Amino acid sequence: MSRTDLAASFAAVEGLGVAGARPMLSGGAAPSGGFASFVRSGSVVEMKALSGTNDAAGGYAVPREIDAAINATLASISPIRAIANVVKVGSAGYRKLVTSGGTPSGWSGETDGRPETATPTFNEIAPPMGELYANPAASQAMLDDANFDVEEWLAGEIATEFARAEGAAFVSGNGMNRPKGFLSGAVAVTGDATRAFGTLQYLPTGAAGAFSTNPEERLIDLVQSLRAPYRQGASFVMNSATLARIRKFKTSDGQFLWSPSLAAGQPATLLGYPVVEAEDMPDIAANSLSIAFGNFRAGYLIAERTETQILRDPYSNKPFVHFYATKRVGGAVSNSEAIKLLRFSAS
């Protein structure tokens, strides 16, 4: 058959698909454009596969009419990214230099000698990086038959899980193929003048697992331990359980330390500084570092390689379609003078 005859035969077949040739089944219209078109038309370490053969794994969504909007329990996502210094990097070998010590100066008379002064000390910061990944699967029948947008839902689930995982790592990650959290490094009770670079200062509450008498004084000491240049833009970080206790504290004249927000979009304050609720912060316990105060934009560095990458793989595990998502991100304390910790210990 010639090329012309072959083209004509295909044209005849395509002509059967003209409007009105057969009725459209209910729910047969598929989303068009962007990510939805990519995942429906065009893989698998199997975490859990979505399939119409199992009710809990997706079958509930296929055989009957349901609400197209699926409600989900809300996950607690750490807000550390919102207050830290986030940089986009071109490789995993990102480095940052931080100077400490400043450049000393001196006084002299008109004809006195000018001896050499000291120079700043350079410190290299290399945030540990790791790769977040997810690889959920859905059967092609599930993608075709479900009356809600499975692909968009999976993309949202992946984004939420990535945010939860990286948020926990920014607080307490061990630095092994993941960011190193600001609570995972060395801590000491010594001040900025004598403490080694990279070691965070903590202030004890005076009692193991609790506030001592006059807890408001401990909080004031924590604020004042941060030097004035860093207090501009500083905030408290704690979880909701710790915050519930602090919100009940009063001064000697009966005034609450906590000041609720007076306008939409404005954070509540503690001693005049905003409070950030991060559920990844530890609960109050003996020797716990449950409260942080500092300028996190100056003190904590987040380095991310690129945005989340998603690969649609319908070939590796037919009839399932895998959605392989990856994101490379790192983090570390960049300036240990900019973050202070309150430890619930006697000393």
SS (H, E, C) 297-338: HHHEEEEECCCCEEEEECCCCCCEEEEEEEEEEEEEECCCCC
Provide the whole-model pTM.
0.75
Say yes or no to pLDDT of 181 above 70: yes
45 or 84: which carries more pLDDT confidence? 84
CA within 13 Å, CB half, 204 = 12
Summarised one tens digit per residue, pLDDT across range 264-323 is 777 789 999 999 999 999 999 999 999 999 999 999 999 988 777 888 889 988 899 898
As a whole number, the mean pLDDT across the chain is: 81
Compute the average pLDDT of residues 20-24.
Answer: 43
Q: Quick one: pLDDT at residue 283?
A: 96
166 or 21: which carries more pLDDT confidence? 166
Q: Which residues contact 50 (CB under 8 A, 6 or more apart)?
A: 57, 58, 136, 137, 138, 139, 142, 150
Say yes or no to pLDDT of 240 above 90: yes
What are the structural domains, with CATH classification, of the chain?
A: 186-296+335-343 (3.30.2320)
Helix (H, G, I), strand (E, B) or coil at 227: coil
Q: Quick one: pLDDT at residue 93?
A: 78
Contact 320, 139 (CB under 8 A): yes
Contact 137, 320 (CB under 8 A): yes
Summarised one tens digit per residue, pLDDT across range 127-150 is 999 998 988 888 888 888 877 777
Q: Quick one: pLDDT at residue 341?
A: 97
Confidence of residue 342 (pLDDT cuts 50, 70, 90): very high
Q: Which residues contact 200 (CB under 8 A, 6 or more apart)?
A: 182, 185, 186, 187, 188, 333, 336, 339, 340, 341
Q: Quick one: pLDDT at residue 147?
A: 75
Say yes or no to pLDDT of 111 above 60: yes
Summarised one tens digit per residue, pLDDT across range 38-54 is 555 543 344 567 666 66
139 or 62: which carries more pLDDT confidence? 139
Helix (H, G, I), strand (E, B) or coil at 166: helix
